[in-house]
Amino acid sequence: MKKRFLTSMALTGAAAFALTACSSDGGDAGSSGDASGDGGSSGDTIVVGFAQTGSESGWRSANTESMKTAFSEENGFELIFNAADNDTAAQIEAVRGFISQGVDAIVIAPIVEDGWDDVLQEAADADIPVILEDRTVSASDDLYAAWIGLDFEQEGVKAGEWAAEMYGGEETKMVVLEGTTGSAPANDRATGFDAAIEGTMIEKIDSQTGDFTRDGGKSVMEGFIQNYGVDNIDLVYAHNDDMALGAIEAIKAAGAVPGEDIKIISIDAVHDGMQALVDGEINYIVECNPLLGDLVAAAVSAVVNGEEVEAVQYVEDLAFDQAAAEAALPDRKY
């Protein structure tokens, strides 16, 4: 499949309409449209069912708001929204509900990669196009029209390359806060990071899932500290900022200084994470841009109107040290 890399400049329009994308603190984003409605288009309105993972993080809240803004009535859409609270079975059932309602298109941010073959085939049999947003699936790529998101493995590579440069020349004991088990970002960010630090003196002594949540990151980090002690942990690699922020709480509670006694590398670059980086409590963040709504809406419109779309669309991510975060934070949109 042809890959298209879109620079952050290409997201200027998306950033403009998503000025308040991170106003939510991670609560349930609610619904647009009636999930029990009859579905189907009314006039020129495109009816879209969107199956979101949940509201597990600041990143996810910003992503949801970006999608809701793009799929607005003013833009010619009716959005039927469902957040599955990270329950894969519930998310698949929500997609089946969209199919039974006869929506014009379905957008899915899959919680995990596996288990989608049957329901995607059901959508294909009903002639309802599917666009994947943010995360990928292991199902055949002829069961969906396009995937739009981030290169999670490259995010891991960027984080790992910085770790290798900064800490790879000396003995460094690292723990990992993994994302949701079986999810594409957790799998790929681990693969990329591990490849980048191969051959260095960074040793991964433990790795557990915190499910991309702040509470999960705090709980897992508390366990790491209990098992190894703060003096035997040099580096934390967190698959997202919310888990890194939870780890900061655990490190402080143990009497250590995050960013100094224990270094922290994270992925996302949401506002709270960037502030922690500016404050010196996180040492490096690789961006994962959540403002995908405009790109996804454009793809849905094209597919519904019988036009071809590029099958894989990547958005390029930036990376931030403390100085770069301080420069970027005043104008940060999420």
Tally of structural domains, the chain: 2
* Look-up of token digits 């947003």: 133
Question: Are residue 84 and residue 105 in the same domain, yes or no?
Answer: yes
> Would 332 be classed as within a structural domain?
no
In a shared domain, residues 280 and 297: no
Distance of CA 214 to the CA centre of its chain: 14
Residues 159, 220, single domain; the answer is yes
CATH number at residue 203: 3.40.50.2300
Residues 243 and 296 both lie in one domain: no
Verify that 12 and 126 share a domain, yes or no: yes
What is the predicted pLDDT for the residue at 256? 98
Question: 184 and 299 share a domain?
Answer: no
Residues 144 and 201 occupy one common structural domain: no
Task: Write the DSSP string, 97-119.
Answer: HHHHHT-SEEEE--SSSSS-HHH
Residue 138 shares a structural domain with residue 247: no
Q: What is the DSSP letter of 207?
A: E
- On whether both 10 and 141 belong to a single domain, the answer is yes
Print the domain residue range for 117: 3-150+289-317
**272 and 300 share one domain:** no
Please state whether 76 falls in left (phi above 0), alpha (psi between -120 and 50) or beta: left
Same domain? 135 vs 204: no
Same domain assignment for residues 106 and 209: no
Residue 317's alpha-carbon distances to 131, 229, 268, 292, in angstroms, are 21, 34, 9, 12
**334 residues of the chain, pLDDT tens digit each:** 333 333 333 333 333 333 333 333 333 333 444 333 344 444 589 999 999 999 988 899 999 999 999 999 999 999 999 999 999 999 999 999 999 999 999 999 999 999 999 999 999 999 999 999 999 999 999 999 999 999 999 999 999 999 999 999 999 999 999 999 999 999 999 999 999 999 999 999 999 999 999 999 999 999 999 999 999 999 999 999 999 999 999 999 999 999 999 999 999 999 999 999 999 999 999 999 999 999 999 999 999 999 999 999 988 789 999 999 999 999 887 8
Q: What pLDDT, on a 0 to 100 scale, did the predictor assign at position 43?
A: 55
The per-residue pLDDT for 100 is 98
pLDDT at 16: 35
